[in-house]
Amino acid sequence: MKRQEIHVLAPATVANVCCGFDMLGFCLNGIGDIMHLKRVDQPGIRITSINGFDLPLEVRKNVAGMAALAMYDALQPQGGFEISLDKKIKPGSGIGSSAASAAGAVYGINKLLGEPCSKEELTGFAIKGEAVASQCEHADNLAPALFGGMTLVKSISPVQVLKIPIPEELVACVLHPHITINTAEARALLPAQVSLENTITQSGHLASLIHGMHTNNYDLISDSLTDVIVEPHRSKLIPNFSEIKSQALKAGALGCGISGSGPSIFALCRGMEIAQLVSKSMAAALVNASFTFDLYTAPINLQGCQPINQTK
């Protein structure tokens, strides 16, 4: 018998990963939204409640609603769906708050319908939801939220997602400063054109990062976590960015960069021991800052969205 109700853990994600702007992302453990989805007789999609942050209940203004609607319109199932959100990931944090909602919505509906859609198809529906937040279609946060691990979005039309293997000892640190950067504004800062020299440098880094991930080559991963195109522009929006990054690298991080469009900053490390030191050093760089921040340190989440047991 098909389920009538499901609770989904929709994880936070890091997009871009230095050299893979709009393409690369990985999935985080330890932080995610909880979404409750219910199959009901009344046709259509409804968002019945949102806890945690002030976000629109209106379906077409909420990324979860728009993603669900895109899927609903395409599949035209009997009846409808009610969605309620326990938001834990702050919108605009740069760790895929909107993507978690879009991914969780289509993941949950797919489960309730008996899994008629592939993850690529789900990504396609979720992209329609993400466009509500950033006014453009991209899947660099959605793909890792749905597939888990690290993903490379080769194309969004048609959706082509490659899963990149994760070396066993890889651990992520994420520092989330409590300041706001809007994705659309962060995009507007980027240059319309990029030099041939920077394109070649960045392509080399992306290719070698993927090779390093496939071959467990931590030195190559470290050497490739560089961004010559986006970081020079966007880092200006993040107070203390260079200090945080240099402290992370000094403490032994393989690499460090802006998570998505910021303000969160991520570091990748070899092993939990180094990751703990890196986290401490990143925090120490903010000892005199006028804002507070959160820190997460955890291995990469290999599963992405997943059902959880919960009584509401």
Q: Which of 52, 77, 103 is nearest to 306 (CA)?
A: 103
CA distance 108 to 111: 5
Query: 57: which DSSP letter?
Result: -
Task: Give the shortest CB-68-to-ligand ADP separation in angstroms.
Answer: 11
Name the catalytic one among 151, 183, 226, 297: 183
Task: Give the shortest CB-183-to-ligand ADP separation in angstroms.
Answer: 3
* Binding test (CB under 6 A) with ligand ADP, winner from 23, 132, 161, 210: 132
16 near ligand ADP (CB under 6 A):
no
- All residues at 6 or more sequence positions from 176 whose CB lies less than 8 Å from its CB, including other chains: 90, 93, 94, 95, 263, 264, 293, 294, 295, 296
25 near ligand ADP (CB under 6 A):
no
Task: Give the shortest CB-48-to-ligand ADP separation in angstroms.
Answer: 13
Q: 183 an active-site residue?
A: yes
Q: 130 an active-site residue?
A: yes
> Alpha carbon 173 to chain centroid distance?
14
Nearer to ligand ADP, 97 or 240 (CB): 97
Strands, E assignment, the chain: 5-15, 24-40, 44-51, 80-86, 150-156, 159-164, 170-177, 255-258, 265-270, 293-299, 306-308
84 near ligand ADP (CB under 6 A):
no
Number of residues located near ligand ADP, criterion CB under 6 A: 20
| 24, 96 contact by CB (below 8 A) | no
Nearer to ligand ADP, 19 or 64 (CB): 64
91 near ligand ADP (CB under 6 A):
yes
| 109, 126 contact by CB (below 8 A) | no
Query: Per CB under 6 A, which of residues 43..72 are in contact with ligand ADP?
Result: 55, 62-64
Number of CB atoms found within 10 A of residue 304's CB: 24
Tokens standing for 2?
A: 């098909």
Name the catalytic one among 13, 82, 130, 297: 130
92 near ligand ADP (CB under 6 A):
yes
- The region of 21-29, 73-81, 93-101, 235-243 touching ligand ADP under the rule CB under 6 A is 93-101
247 near ligand ADP (CB under 6 A):
no
93 near ligand ADP (CB under 6 A):
yes
Q: Give the 3-state secondary structure of residue 207.
A: helix
Number of CB atoms found within 10 A of residue 140's CB: 26
Query: Per CB under 6 A, which of residues 187..246 are in contact with ligand ADP?
Result: none
Strands, E assignment, 129-169: 150-156, 159-164
* Binding test (CB under 6 A) with ligand ADP, winner from 101, 110, 240, 297: 101
Binding site for ligand ADP (CB under 6 A): 55, 62-64, 91-99, 101, 132-134, 182-183, 260
**Active-site amino acid positions:** 130, 183
